[in-house]
Amino acid sequence: MAGTSRHDREMAIQSKRQLSTCSDPLERLRLQCLSRGSSGIKGLGRTFRIMDDNNSRSLDAKEFVKGLSDYGVLMEKAEALSLFELFDRDGSGMIDFDEFLITLRPPMSNARKGVIMEAFRKLDKTGDGVITIDDLRGVYNTKHHPKYQNGEWTEDQIFRKFLDSFDSPNDKDGKVTKEEFLNYYCGVSASIDSDVYFILMMKNAWKL
């Protein structure tokens, strides 16, 4: 199942506490995202994707600063521009936002990445790199869901709600890409210190 709300609450509290003493711009941005819970980094990625009108998957400095502001990141313009320069490694005046998101994700061991991708592959039944409602049939059991049991929701509504938990709050499209799944679990991972516990949690949640 998606990361628990308890982990999200703990992570939000922990991130806000660390923010008060953190001066590194990259770490400050990471903590501001994590203080929104497991979907924080993924939400920022989606904000940037919406702004990318020409589908170039890259941003200039102006778009970068505006994207941070639109997402509600509290950062001085000068700090945002110095962060942009950090990501603009080749000095082209543009940053690739896939690379940006990978750098922004909290560091994670290969063992954790491996179990996350194992879960993704299990859910992505069609193997097309995107999890949809159709993929979830037969993989995710809705029969024990209280709202299914009392007739309040249909199976499809439960599937959609489940996919929404991986999506950003303001732009739910009912599809979860590999990148969104990884970004989501990077957030969950940040709240769990032990590799062993994280891997066990994933294996139990997805019956791997």
Per-residue pLDDT tens over the stretch 118-154: 999 999 998 999 998 888 887 877 787 888 888 888 8
Instruction: Provide the CATH topology of domain 5-104.
Output: Recoverin; domain 1 (1.10.238)
Cβ-contact 15, 35 below 8 angstroms: yes
DSSP string, 73-105: ----HHHHHHHHHHH-TT-SSEEEHHHHHHHHS
Q: Average pLDDT in the 19-41 region?
A: 86
**b/e code 17-29 from CB counts within 10 Å (16+ = b):** eebeebeebeebb
Q: Where are the domains of the chain?
A: 5-104, 110-206
Query: Do the domains at 5-104 and 110-206 have one common CATH topology?
Result: yes
Q: Average pLDDT in the 170-186 region?
A: 80
For the cut 70, the answer to whether the pLDDT of residue 96 exceeds it is yes
pLDDT for 207 equals: 84
For the cut 70, the answer to whether the pLDDT of residue 168 exceeds it is no
To the question of pTM greater than 0.95 for the whole model, the response is no
Q: How far apart are CA 206 and CA 155, in angstroms?
A: 18
pLDDT for 1 equals: 46
- pLDDT band for 177, please (50, 70, 90 cuts): confident
Q: Domain 110-206 classified CATH 3.10.20.30?
A: no
For the cut 50, the answer to whether the pLDDT of residue 172 exceeds it is yes
pLDDT for 171 equals: 61
Q: Average pLDDT in the 160-183 region?
A: 77
pLDDT for 127 equals: 92
> What is the CA 179 to chain-centroid distance, rounded?
8
For the cut 70, the answer to whether the pLDDT of residue 9 exceeds it is yes
pLDDT for 57 equals: 82
